[in-house]
Amino acid sequence: MNRLTAGSAAAILVLFLASCSTSDATAPPEDGGTYESIDDLQEAVESAGLVCRELVLDTPPSKFSASSASCSEFTYLAIYTDDLHLEAQLDFWRPAGQRAVNVGKNWTVVSEDPQLIQKNLGGSVLHTGP
């Protein structure tokens, strides 16, 4: 009887630990989801591990975005109002040879580490240049 009780307790403990570990590691949305503001996107980028201490807003925002900003020379964030504006921005970048751009449902991030952004925020990586 002690074996059954100890075995049952061990099985319950394993199931409990497995359920705890999977709930902590929630995968990002495959499509990258949406962000309401450039500040929300900045917070997500920082949570992903990129440094974005000083967000410098573009005034006015870049041509196709609702809001855009840079964190550094190599990190650029933008939010778009709809798919048409997002696609127009991507069409603009394709011939310009932008190295890699993370793309979500209504956002883009240009950075030195597109794999880190994709791993943590989801979306896709568009390679448009070398």
pLDDT single digits (tens) 28-58: 999 999 999 999 999 999 999 999 989 999 9
Indicate the number of domains in the chain: 1
Range of the domain at 86: 29-127
Beta bridge partners of 110: 76
d(C-alpha 81, C-alpha 35), whole Å: 10
13 vs 88, residue with greater confidence: 88
pTM of the model: 0.77
The answer to whether residue 56 sits within a structural domain is: yes
Domain assignment present for residue 100? The answer is yes
Model confidence at 103: pLDDT above 50:
yes
Assigned domain for 21 exists: no
Would residue 7 count as lying in a domain? no
Query: Residue 79 sits in a domain of what CATH number?
Result: 3.30.200
* Tokens read off for 45: 């980028």
What are the φ and ψ backbone dihedral angles of 122, each rounded to 5 degrees?
Answer: 85, -155
Average of pLDDT values for 59-77? Answer: 94
**Which residue type is seen at 113?**
D
Ramachandran angles phi, psi of 81, nearest 5°: -75, -30
Is the pLDDT at 15 greater than 50, yes or no? no
Task: Band the pLDDT of 100: cuts 50, 70, 90.
Answer: confident
Residue 18 falls within a domain, yes or no? no
Helices then strands, counting H and E runs in the chain, come out as 4, 6
Domain membership flag for residue 3: no
Residue 46 in domain: yes
The least confident of 40-44, 55-59, 91-95, 116-120 is 91-95
pLDDT value at residue 53:
84
In a domain, 95, yes or no: yes
- pLDDT, residue 1, reads 47
